A = this chain, B = another copy of it.
Amino acid sequence: MSLIVQKFGGSSVRDAQRLRNVAGIIAETYLEGNDVIVVLSAQGDTTDDLIAKAQEINPRASKREMDMLLSTGEQISVALCAMALESMGLPCVSLTAWQVGIQSTAVHSDARIKKIDSERIRAELDQHRIVIVTGFQGVDRGGDVTTLGRGGSDTSAVALAAAFRADLCQIYTDVDGVYTTDPRIVPNARKLEEITYDEMLELASQGAQVLHNRSVELAKKFRVNLEVLSSLERKPGTKVKEVTNVEKTNIAGVAKDTSIARIALIGLEHNPGVAFQVFDLLGKHNINVDVIIQSIGREESKDITFTLHRKDLEEAEEVLNAHKAALRFDHIETDAGIGKVSIVGAGLVSNCGVAARMFEALYEAGINIQMINTSEIRVSVLLDEEDVNRAVKAVHDKFFDEA
């Protein structure tokens, strides 16, 4: 007998029909003799509807009251799912985060799970009940409801799997696994059977939307065996684990990100500490910077070029210009039309030829590389946004069709 945690997202539980489908998956797992803990998100548009209600009353409502409001969404899901299982004659119980004791920090709308009490869930599992828990939420030390922010339900599922040492944590979603790249751009993208935590992390942070980074980080930390699979098609998904059996000469996938802007500070004085001043200033305004390149320009001045999220471009430009006198640069150049294409693979570090192959693919496609950035298991290139899809296809073909 195994303990399996199954998480279903909002679209998987959006109406009665989908809920019955989900109940069917849970029932199958339970009737195979497993203990099952289910984690659910709010149904389909419920969260958006609740946000709209709040907006109508007070567009600047406190996060504490927003959490109080939004947490009802998952509570509705778990109660309805329990009813669906009851109608199949299966023993089950729905539990909110406070009933379980999912203790979190007090940061409303972006709380972190600190500890999960085991008593209540263990008692229910001992009674052979299927336990259905509200995802996305916790309760802080003062007894207030918190929510966990983006990807919160995935994080709830992984945290429960870790706390109860589950044998497997299945994340059911509306795609059937992790692909070598976006199938909408490259029709012959392949579903991966397995991927390592690190590869998944790089893919997620480079634009793959399947799993949120926080949940993968947590899974890695506690060695939780993850599986990403579809709630609509009954077939194996992608397993995320510590080490995969896949041959390491190839990459895991190609990711893209098209919401990038670039800023270049031209003609900075060549003083030590100038880079610190620039990025300290941006950090104080909560502006995250990604790739940074510094070069020595003509006449002993230097340029600093960096990328950031496109939504932050305007504010960053304003902040920098407001401090032009202190920072002593000549002028700013900006480009809002930047894209990024990355290859990710656990074997990258030991295969120095891999990056060269990527550049070769781009050269053959006639695509100009603006900047390059690498990590141990990733190579990213920045290029014109309009070249992104063509670049993804060229790189994917090079690694997966010529291989």
Interface residues of A (CB under 8 A from B): 16, 19-20, 50, 53-54, 56-58, 60-62, 64-66, 68-69, 71-72, 75-76, 78-80, 82-84, 86-87, 93-94, 96, 98-99, 120, 143-145
Residue of B nearest to A71 (CB): B75
Q: Enumerate chain B residues within 8 angstroms of A53, measured Cβ to Cβ.
A: 16, 76, 80
Contact status of A79 and B83, CB under 8 A, knowing A56-B16, A57-B19, A57-B20: no
Q: Enumerate chain B residues within 8 angstroms of A98, measured Cβ to Cβ.
A: 98
Bound-state Cα–Cα, A187 to B93, Å: 52
**Cβ B68 vs Cβ A78 within 8 A:** yes
Q: Enumerate chain B residues within 8 angstroms of A66, measured Cβ to Cβ.
A: 79
6 closest A-B pairs by CB: A69-B79, A72-B72, A58-B87, A61-B83, A58-B83, A68-B79
Q: Enumerate chain B residues within 8 angstroms of A145, measured Cβ to Cβ.
A: 96
Bound-state Cα–Cα, A272 to B157, Å: 67
Q: Enumerate chain B residues within 8 angstroms of A65, measured Cβ to Cβ.
A: 79, 82-83, 86, 94
Bound-state Cα–Cα, A177 to B313, Å: 60
Question: A96 → chain B, closest Cβ, in Å?
Answer: 8
**Cβ B60 vs Cβ A87 within 8 A:** yes
Q: Enumerate chain B residues within 8 angstroms of A82, measured Cβ to Cβ.
A: 61-62, 65, 68
7 A–B contacts from the bound complex (CB under 8 Å)? A57-B83, A58-B86, A68-B78, A68-B94, A68-B96, A69-B83, A71-B75
Q: Enumerate chain B residues within 8 angstroms of A64, measured Cβ to Cβ.
A: 93
**Cβ A120 vs Cβ B143 within 8 A:** yes
Q: Enumerate chain B residues within 8 angstroms of A144, measured Cβ to Cβ.
A: 99
Bound-state Cα–Cα, A20 to B58, Å: 10
Question: A43 → chain B, closest Cβ, in Å?
Answer: 9
Residue of B nearest to A17 (CB): B56
Bound-state Cα–Cα, A82 to B68, Å: 10
Bound-state Cα–Cα, A66 to B75, Å: 11
**Cβ B72 vs Cβ A57 within 8 A:** no
Bound-state Cα–Cα, A120 to B56, Å: 29
Bound-state Cα–Cα, A57 to B132, Å: 16
Q: Enumerate chain B residues within 8 angstroms of A61, measured Cβ to Cβ.
A: 82-83, 86-87
Q: Enumerate chain B residues within 8 angstroms of A69, measured Cβ to Cβ.
A: 75-76, 79-80, 83
Bound-state Cα–Cα, A64 to B76, Å: 13
Cross-interface CB contact of A57 among B16, B54, B71, B143, cutoff 8 Å: B16
Q: Enumerate chain B residues within 8 angstroms of A71, measured Cβ to Cβ.
A: 75
Residue of B nearest to A98 (CB): B98
Cross-interface CB contact of A86 among B19, B62, B75, B80, cutoff 8 Å: B62
Q: Enumerate chain B residues within 8 angstroms of A143, measured Cβ to Cβ.
A: 99, 120
Residue with the highest number of chain B CB atoms closer than 10 Å, among A69, A86, A120: A69
